[in-house]
Structure 1
Amino acid sequence: MIAATGFAKRKVAVFGLGTSGLATLRALEAGGATVLAWDDSEAKRAEAAAAGFALAEIDGWDWTAIAALVLSPGVPLTHPEPHPAARAAQAAGVEIIGDIELFQRAVTASGTGARIVAITGTNGKSTTTALIGHMIRRCGGEAQVGGNIGKAVLELEAPKSTTVYVIEVSSYQIDLAPGLAPNIAILLNITPDHIDRHGSLAHYAAVKARLFDRQGAGDTAIIGVDDVLSKDICTGVSARRAARVVPISVGKSLGRGVYAIDGVLYDNAGTQAVKAGDLKEMRTLAGAHNWQNAAAAYATGRALGYTREKIFAAFESFPGLAHRMEIVAERDGMRFVNDSKATNADAASKALAAYRNIYWIAGGKAKEGGIESLAPLFPHIARAYLIGEAAESFAHTLDGKVAYRQCGTLAAAVEAATQDATADDADLRVVLLSPACASFDQFRNFEERGDQFRREVQRALAVTGGAAA
Structure 2
Amino acid sequence: MIPVPGYEDQAVAVFGLGRTGLATVEALQAGGANVLAWDDNAETRTKAQSAGFSLIDLDRADWTEIRALVLSPGVPLTHPEPHRLVKTAGAHSVPVLGDMELFAQAMAALLEDRRPKIIGITGTNGKSTTTALIGHILKKAGIDTRIGGNIGDAVLTLDPPRLSTVFVLELSSYQLDLVHSMSCDIAIWLNLSEDHLDRHGDMAGYRAAKFRIFANQTPDGAAIVGVDDDYSVAVFSKLKAAKDRELIAISSGRSLSHGVYAVGSKLFDGMLTPAHEVLDLATVPTLPGAHNAQNIAAAYAAARQLGLPAETITEAIKSFPGLAHRLELVGTHKSVRYVNDSKATNAEATAKALASFTDIFWIAGGRKKEGGIGSLAPYFANIAKAYLIGEAAEEFAATLGSAVPHEIAGTLENAMDLAASDAATGGHEAPVILLSPACASFDQFKDFEHRGDVFRVLAKARIGSA
The TM-score, its normalising length taken from structure 2, stands at: 0.90
Q: Structure 1: how far apart are the matches of 2:128 and 2:154?
A: 14
Tell me the residue number matched to 1:294: 296
1:184, 1:168 → 2: CA distance? 12
What is residue 4 of structure 1 aligned with on the other side?
A: 4
Q: SS at 2:432's partner residue? A: strand
Q: Deviations over 1:409-442 (max 9, x none)?
A: 5445435544554557766432212233454565
Which residue in the other structure is 1:383 paired with? 385
**Shift of the alpha carbon at 1:52?**
2.6
* Equivalent residue in structure 2 for 1:133, among 135, 155, 178: 135
Q: Deviations over 1:68-106 (max 9, x none)?
A: 222222223333333332233333333322211110121
Matched residue type, 2:278? A
Whether 2:437 is the aligned partner of 1:435: answer: yes
> Which residue does 1:323 correspond to in 2?
325
Change (3 A) 1:334 1:309: farther
* Residue 206 (structure 2) aligned to one of 196, 200, 204: 204
Q: 1:71 & 1:407 partners in 2: Cα distance?
A: 39
Which shifted more, 132-141 or 63-72?
A: 63-72
Structure 1 runs (4+) deviating above 6 angstroms are: none
Q: Deviations over 1:153-182 (max 9, x none)?
A: 101111111321111112222222111101
Structure 2 counterpart of 1:160: 162
Equivalent residues of 2:369, 2:440 under 8 A apart:
yes
Once structures 1 and 2 are overlaid, which stretch shifts more, 48-57 or 317-326? 48-57
SS of residue paired to 1:285: coil
Q: Would the alpha carbon gap of residues 139 and 94 (structure 1) be closer, same or farther in structure 2, given more than 3 Å must change?
A: same
Q: 2: distance between equivalents of 1:448 and 1:172?
A: 21
What is the number of equivalent residue pairs in this alignment?
Answer: 464
Listed as ranges, the matches of 1:325-364 within 5 Å are 325-364=327-366
For residue 225 of structure 2, give the secondary structure of its aligned residue in structure 1: strand
**What residue number does 1:81 align with?**
81
Comparing 50-59 and 122-131, the one that deviates more: 50-59
Give me the whole-angstrom Cα distance separating, in 2, the residues matched to 1:104 and 1:373.
39
What is aligned with 1:191?
193
**How do 1:382-401 and structure 2 match up within 5 A?**
382-387=384-389, 394=396, 397-398=399-400, 400-401=402-403
Among candidates 274, 277, 297, match of residue 275 of structure 1? 277
Q: Secondary structure at the match of 1:373?
A: helix
Structure 1 stretch 455-464 or stretch 220-229: which is displaced more? 455-464
- C-alpha displacement of 1:40: 2.4
Check conservation: 1:358, 1:432, Cα contact below 8 A. yes
Which whole-Å CA distance do the structure 1 matches of 2:202 and 2:401 have between them? 38
Could you say which residue in structure 1 is the equivalent of 2:148?
A: 146
Contact 1:118 1:168 in 2 (8 A): yes
The worse-fitting range, judged by mean Cα deviation, of 321-330 and 332-341 is 332-341
- Of stretches 195-204 and 206-215 in structure 1, the one that deviates more from structure 2 is 195-204
* Secondary structure class of the residue paired with 1:432: strand
The reply on whether 1:266 has 2:255 as its aligned counterpart is no
Q: Which moved more, 1:47-56 or 1:208-217?
A: 47-56
Query: How far apart are 1:13 and its partner, in Å?
Result: 1.8
Taking a change above 3 Å as real, the CA distance of residues 143 and 198 of structure 1, as seen in their structure-2 partners, is same
CA distance in 2, matches of 1:71, 1:409: 35
1:70 match: secondary structure: strand
Q: Which runs of 5+ in 2 are unaligned?
A: none
CA 407–63 in structure 1, closer or farther in 2 if over 3 Å, else same: closer
- Residues 110, 159 of structure 1: 8 Å contact kept: no
Contact 2:193 2:348 in 1 (8 A): no
Tell me the residue number matched to 1:232.
234
SS of match in other structure, 2:174 = helix
Note closer, same or farther for the CA distance 1:408–1:26 as it changes in structure 2 (3 Å cut): closer
In 2, the alpha carbon distance for the partners of 1:368 and 1:197 equals 12
Structure 1: 5+ residue stretches without partners: 465-469
Distance 2:200 2:414 in 1: 42
Identify the residue that residue 93 of structure 1 maps to in structure 2.
Answer: 93
Letter of the 1:179 counterpart: S
Paired amino acid for 1:256: H
Judge conservation of contact 1:415–1:456 (CA < 8 Å) in 2. Answer: no
Query: 2:29 is matched with which residue?
Result: 29
Judging changes above 3 Å, is the alpha-carbon distance between structure 1 residues 302 and 12 closer, same or farther for their aligned structure 2 residues?
same
The AA in structure 2 aligned to 1:26 is: E
The Cα RMSD (Å) is 2.6
Change beyond 3 A, Cα 1:396–1:105: closer
How far apart in 2 are the matches of 1:434 and 1:181? 35
Q: Distance in 2 between matches of 1:61 and 1:412?
A: 50
2:259 to 249, 257, 260: 257
Question: Which residue identity does 2:268 align to in structure 1?
Answer: Y
Q: How far is 1:29 from its partner?
A: 0.7
Q: % of aligned pairs identical?
A: 53
Please give the per-residue CA displacement for 1:240-268, whole angstroms capped at 9, x wherever unaligned: 33321111122221111111222322111
Assess, with a 3 A threshold, how the Cα gap between structure 1 residues 438 and 308 changes in structure 2: closer, same or farther.
same
Residue 297 of structure 1, CA deviation? 0.8
- Does 234-243 or 139-148 show the bigger shift? 234-243
Distance 1:75 1:431, change over 3 A: closer
Distance 2:85 2:396 in 1: 44
Q: Deviations over 1:126-166 (max 9, x none)?
A: 22112211221122222211111221110111111132111
Aligned match for 1:119, one of 121, 130, 148: 121
Residues 129, 390 of structure 1: CA spacing in aligned structure 2 closer, same or farther, 3 A cutoff? same
Q: Which residue of 2 aligns with 1:467?
A: none
SS in 1 for 2:130: helix
Are residue 40 (structure 1) and residue 40 (structure 2) matched?
Answer: yes
Q: Does 1:214 align with 2:216?
A: yes
* CA spacing shift, 1:437–1:219, aligned 2, 3 Å: closer
2:179 is paired with a residue of what secondary structure?
coil
437-446 or 326-335, which deviates more: 437-446
- Cα distance, 1:234 vs. partner? 2.0
Distance in structure 1 (CA, Å) of the matches to 2:100 and 2:65: 23
Structure 2 letter corresponding to 1:272 = P
